[in-house]
Amino acid sequence: MISFNVPPYVGGELENINCAVSDRRISGDGEFTRKCHRWLEENTGASKALLTTSCTHALEMTALLANIHPGDEVIMPSFTFVSTANAFVLRGAKIVFVDIRPDTMNIDESLIEDAITEKTKAIVLVHYAGVACEMDIIMAIAGRHDLIVVEDAAQAITSTYKGKPLGTIGDYGCYSFHETKNISMGEGGALLIRDAQYTERAEIIREKGTNRSKFFRGEVDKYTWVDIGSSYLPSEINAAYLYAQLERVNQIEESRISSWNNYYARLQSLAEEGKIGLPIVPEYCHHNAHIFFIKTRDIQERTEFIRFMRQNEVGCVFHYIPLHSSPAGQNFGRFSGEDRYTTKESERLVRLPMFYGMTIEDNNYVCDKVLEFYSFR
């Protein structure tokens, strides 16, 4: 069976974990955490990077930093993971869903301004498959209306928009290092902060609402409870695992890009015949090959396709069920305007196997089976 995902492993992870254990420091914010912070800051240009226990928790931190309160409205796409919305619902916000673009599956920037009301506090963007949203337009809208911009860049480490790393263009960016992501620590994430003035409060929120980080740096003689917060620190074991992969991020990305490019080249004929849709990457975007998807004719064909591929030992999966159609989405949010593409395009999308170290033989086998399925249609 060719799995849909295989957690990345580059070979230095266990050595790093052994070092952390030998140093007798396995709780958070040890040497490997500091190395990860330094790597993220140097390679993204963020003023501050903080590892978190998940991207979900990084998003929850942004909701606290943005001072989201009951009655505030937060704009985002419906085609996203539940954590994108949950982080703000937990603070009492009303979610305002906006339709997506059918080409990139990202929020349609031309519809955002119509969704803004006097209650709007923030815009949350999702860079689907590591392909950037239209950031110049969105940042201009946010500037006109004095809104906070949060980038849910869970899938987008090493991706860029016009040369700028995703996660660093808005006020806050959130990465995921879940086992399904390009770079992994099993469970974990990171918060990126653009403006250094918010660093101190972010550290406090991350340390249970205390100024413990300042105490460890010798900036205060004791630490105490100063704000709301929670425990968002990952263990040093997770950070040690992650750092081994950060050091070889180019190696990981090259492997994935190679698989992505082979998929595209081999399946392009089906797209030209109008049988499937393929990913579209705007020329000003550098993507990280996080996902390779095709679009089937409709949900019925997608179901048949997934069944056929599994019968041929290939794991293919669909993705998000739009949040606005879920019970919680209907309770905590509303859809602004018309759902022209969110539901229709989400029902067509199916993801092909993609992981670090995928062999060309396996990649070609997947392509052969996709071509075989459509040879009868």
In tens, the pLDDT along 158-172 reads 999 999 999 999 999
Q: Find the farthest-apart pair of alpha carbons in the chain and give their distance in angstroms, rounded.
A: 74
Regarding whether 195 and 181 lie in a shared domain, the answer is yes
- pLDDT score at 220: 77
| Residue-wise pLDDT tens digits, 191-215 | 999 999 999 999 999 999 998 888 7
- What six digits make up the tokens of 248? 């070889």
Regarding whether 83 and 218 lie in a shared domain, the answer is yes
C-alpha 209: how far from chain center: 26
Contact call for residues 7 and 184 (beta carbons, < 8 A) = yes
Q: Is residue 5 part of a domain?
A: no
Q: What is the mean pLDDT of residues 303-326?
A: 98
| Residue-wise pLDDT tens digits, 48-77 | 999 999 999 999 999 999 999 999 999 999
Asked whether the CA dihedral 306, 310, 312, 314 is positive or negative, the reply is: positive
> The domain spanning residue 313 has which CATH number?
3.90.1150.10
Alpha carbon separation from 103 to 43, 44, 141, 277, 370 (Å, rounded): 29, 26, 21, 9, 21
Local structure of 79: helix, strand or coil? coil
> Structural domain of residue 69, as residue ranges?
13-246
Number of structural domains the chain divides into: 2
Regarding whether 329 and 204 lie in a shared domain, the answer is no
d(CA 263, CA 257): 10
Confidence of residue 25 (pLDDT cuts 50, 70, 90): confident
Q: Is residue 314 part of a domain?
A: yes
Regarding whether 291 and 143 lie in a shared domain, the answer is no
| Residue-wise pLDDT tens digits, 228-278 | 999 999 999 999 999 999 999 999 999 999 999 999 999 999 999 999 999
Instruction: List, in order, residues 6 or more apart from 234 with CB less than 8 Å away.
Output: 28, 33, 51, 52, 53, 185, 187, 188
Indicate whether 148 pLDDT > 80.
yes
- Boundary of a domain, candidates 246, 273, 300: 246
Q: Is residue 4 part of a domain?
A: no
- Boundary of a domain, candidates 246, 263, 279: 246
d(CA 282, CA 294): 17
- pLDDT score at 96: 98
- Boundary of a domain, candidates 246, 271, 305: 246
- pLDDT score at 214: 80
With CA atoms as reference, report the closest residue to 200 among 65, 32, 60, 35.
65
Confidence of residue 218 (pLDDT cuts 50, 70, 90): confident
Number of helical H runs and strand E runs in the chain? 14, 13
- What six digits make up the tokens of 26? 């396995």
> The domain spanning residue 39 has which CATH number?
3.40.640.10
Contact call for residues 189 and 48 (beta carbons, < 8 A) = no
Regarding whether 310 and 279 lie in a shared domain, the answer is yes
- pLDDT score at 377: 83
